[in-house]
A and B are shown apart, each in its own frame.
Chain A
Amino acid sequence: MAGFGFICLLLALAVCAYGIAASIYGVRTRRWEYADSGRRAMYALAAVLTIAGLVLELAFISNDFAFNTVADTSSRTTPALYRVAAVWSSQEGSLLLWAWLLSLWSSLALFLTRRRLREVAAYATAILLGLGGFFVGLMVFYANPFSTTTPAPPEGVGLDPLLRFPTMMIHPPMLYSGYTLCMIPLAFGFGALLARRLQADWIGAIRRFAFAAWLFLGIGILLGARWSYAELGWGGYWGWDAVENASLMPWLTATAFLHSLMIQEKRGMLKVWNVSLVLATGTLAVMGTFLVRSGILNSIHAFGGHTLGVPFVALIALLIGASIYLVVSRRELLRSEARLDSLLSREAAFLANNLVLVALCFVIFWGTYFPLISQALSGHEASVGPPWFDRYTVPLALILVLLSGIGPVIAWRRASLANARRNFLVPCVAALATFVGLEAAGVAHKPFATAMFCCAAFVLGSVGQEFVRGTRVRRAIAGEPPPRALLALVRRNRRRYGGYIVHLGMAVLFVGVAASSSFQHAVERGLSPGQSARVGAYTVRYVKPTATVTPRNDAAHTGALLSLGARLEVLKGRRHVATLEPSEGYYPSGEAGQGTVASLIGGQPVSHIAMNGGITRDVWSAVQPNIEAPALQKIVNAGNRTLPPEAALVALAVLARSYLAHPPQAQFHLIVSPLVMWIWLGGLIVFAGGLIALWPAPSTLRRRVAALERPRPLRGLARV
């Protein structure tokens, strides 16, 4: 079946080539049947890649180690659920996932626009097929997911233990969906430029896809942060890792675009800016994909082995060059149709918001790529760490949150000063009250955190005020009770109120970030059973050691053969708060030369953290048992000398018993972080707001104008 899988890739490549030619021929000669055939080529690409994906998935599920990618990333002892997800843990499998998701989303976009924007859509089809062909080409010529070894090895290496967590199963599909959805506005942007059709219709057509890209990227980023916090052993959720940054950059430019496109839709302004943002977002998404496959990173995120740096650099150069050429050559068609009426307007707030977002993106871009380029050229390892990023991103984030509270309370076009004063009263009072409260509570000594709390209160005040006033208006018009009026208001103005909910979610998220960063207590201490450590207002006591042997007893279901850990009691004063059981899992190394027992646990150990989370704080713990202790190593060495492989588990059982009876001092990492839960809650609120904004409006709101009379025309417009 590997052969059939590879044939599917060849067929996919041929379909891409045909589709590109047919689409371009169709649009240039206005023979639309060829453009339609090109669109169908995209559907066919999705179908063929689905078949290829199924072949690979079946190979993983059935443990067919003749497939090299299965042998390299899976094993019989890898839990079944993780075997399914192991497909995209390899370079080859992840390329297939990328291409497949691109073909699916592209098919959806082209299907939804099949009766509109013919010229633009035909060019977009060609570009999307070109991108699909690029990724399929990478698989065919560089990283074949269907390469095999004969005879097949009896067992595989197994999935990297760090990836054996539920969030890691969904994180890549979400992130890749975000990246591939970014390609659709990119393709339609190029299409609009090539077809010289730069009115509002193309941007309206891709708005939903840009929004979906933003949503999926955001979910993927948050899932990665959650994995980092809840599964890795360092206790943080964001480390300004190059790959984290690479996914954040297109999200920032997509956020900017979603705001500035409203200005273009309403006023015909910012056309150059918007098309540049769309092209930049797509290019940054490709650069993010490039980063993990370029061979210049050594990270859990990076795919080792093949380096695909050169083809990616060529693609990125092509995208950048084509973007600059087309925008410059079409600048006459991109002239603004109107000017900014007033600095006290929502347009001005959105412009400021855009500038801050792009500035954030630039800072992160510089901090991410400059050290990598410098290292690649000079050979000297360069690094830019979290303090550098924090220095520049924190003030920008503050301004961003503040603007997200200002935008909702000022009008489009122009707002009067008197109205603005009245509308800013409640948000300002909320911010001031927050400051007074923080001062009274004695927690206002951290300036940036305090500023962020006050800005978030400002946002809460402005968004809350909008909901209250809007509900009142709705009640005055329709006489509905408040809950129904609120629902009707949101239903009839999904973009506006969905956007307000997103702003609120972001404010909540940033409160969580500010609090957990500024008021965290962290301790690293060696403890023996019975000993305690003080972490902020809490005392953590090491009650007793824990140990389990074999995957059947592995509570985390990650396939660890041995887990050593500890039971901890968390107290606040004398009150029992929680019981935590962090552990460290030990996995096979696959290197028989280590010895029969040592090879069972000689692989990369993985920390299984234990946490007690709540709305006000998280108590987080990780343990590093001292498996190198002489008493334990004696057991391992004795087992290596005397036990055959099939009896090696006996030594692990003896080791576990010895650990329980005479536990050596273990290293503990203990953290108490306030308001971390607000980050995830904020993310959920953002997600909910995004869904509301994305949902199509009821068809009754699209009814045509029934009558037209001057001087008060357009009767029949839907009411608020």
Chain B
Amino acid sequence: MDIAIAVLTLALLALVIRFVGAPLRARGRSEPDAGACDREALEAAREAKYREIRDLELDYRTGKLSAEDYEAIDAQLRVEAIQILDRLERVPGAERSDRPPPPR
């Protein structure tokens, strides 16, 4: 029984070391791009802003907002969203699909 436990222990230890140490042995480690943190923050802000615009439209359509308030807040939110998209475009590695194709 003691030998079995010793073998089990060694096997488990070897497995754990191999598994945990795998990233240290990996070749061609990819370095995160310099703008990764900024991009994540801006993408989160963008999704939150989209959600806010959708929520605002739902609030207006369900009668919580007057038309004037809706137009004013909606315009403001869209300006804020554009600012976020502009900042996102300046971050290296950001998706370029958000801009429309140029007119023919």
Chain A residues near B (Cβ < 8 Å): 1, 3-4, 7-8, 11, 15, 18-19, 32-34, 36-37, 40-41, 43-44, 47-48, 51, 116-119, 197, 199-201, 204-205, 265-266, 409-416, 418-419, 422-423, 466, 469-470, 473, 476, 493, 496, 702, 704-714, 717-718, 720
Chain A min CB distance to B29 (Å): 5
Of the A-B pairs whose beta carbons lie under 8 Å apart in the complex, a sample of 14, sorted by A's number, is A4-B9, A11-B13, A18-B20, A40-B23, A199-B44, A266-B48, A266-B51, A409-B64, A419-B64, A419-B65, A470-B58, A470-B62, A493-B58, A714-B82
| Residue from B12, B29, B36 within 8 A of A33 (CB atoms) | B29
Compute how far the CA of A51 lies from the CA of B5 in the bound complex, rounded to whole angstroms.
13
B91 within 8 A of A: no
A205: chain B residues within 8 A (beta carbon)? 44
- Considering residues A47, A201, A706, A717, which has the most beta carbons from chain B within 10 angstroms of its beta carbon? A201
Nearest to A38 among chain B residues (CB) is B20
Q: List residues 38-65 of chain B with CB under 8 A from any CB of chain A.
A: 40-41, 43-45, 47-48, 50-65
| Residue from A33, A51, A419, A496 within 8 A of B58 (CB atoms) | A496
- Structural contact, B19 and A40, CB atoms closer than 8 A: yes
Compute how far the CA of A266 lies from the CA of B20 in the bound complex, rounded to whole angstroms.
39
| Residue from A412, A473, A705 within 8 A of B85 (CB atoms) | A705
- Structural contact, B20 and A717, CB atoms closer than 8 A: no
Compute how far the CA of A32 lies from the CA of B23 in the bound complex, rounded to whole angstroms.
9
Q: Besides the contacts A266-B55, A708-B100, what 9 more A-B pairs have beta carbons closer than 8 Å?
A: A34-B24, A201-B43, A412-B55, A466-B62, A708-B82, A708-B98, A708-B99, A712-B78, A720-B54
Compute how far the CA of A419 lies from the CA of B68 in the bound complex, rounded to whole angstroms.
12
- Structural contact, A720 and B8, CB atoms closer than 8 A: no
A717: chain B residues within 8 A (beta carbon)? 50, 53-54
Known: A411-B65, A704-B98, A720-B61. A714 touches B50 (CB 8 A): yes
A418: chain B residues within 8 A (beta carbon)? 66
A419: chain B residues within 8 A (beta carbon)? 63-66
- Structural contact, A714 and B20, CB atoms closer than 8 A: no
Nearest to A18 among chain B residues (CB) is B20
- Structural contact, B41 and A200, CB atoms closer than 8 A: yes
A3: chain B residues within 8 A (beta carbon)? 2, 5
Compute how far the CA of A4 lies from the CA of B9 in the bound complex, rounded to whole angstroms.
7
Chain B min CB distance to A419 (Å): 6
In the A-B complex, the 5 residue pairs with the smallest Cβ-Cβ separation, listed nearest first, are: A201-B44, A36-B23, A199-B41, A411-B64, A707-B100
- Structural contact, B53 and A702, CB atoms closer than 8 A: no
Compute how far the CA of A718 lies from the CA of B32 in the bound complex, rounded to whole angstroms.
31
B56: chain A residues within 8 A (beta carbon)? 411-413
| Residue from A36, A40, A413, A702 within 8 A of B73 (CB atoms) | A413
Chain A min CB distance to B41 (Å): 4
| Residue from B36, B51, B78 within 8 A of A118 (CB atoms) | B36
A118: chain B residues within 8 A (beta carbon)? 32, 36-37
| Residue from A7, A33, A469 within 8 A of B63 (CB atoms) | A469
B2: chain A residues within 8 A (beta carbon)? 3
Nearest to B79 among chain A residues (CB) is A713
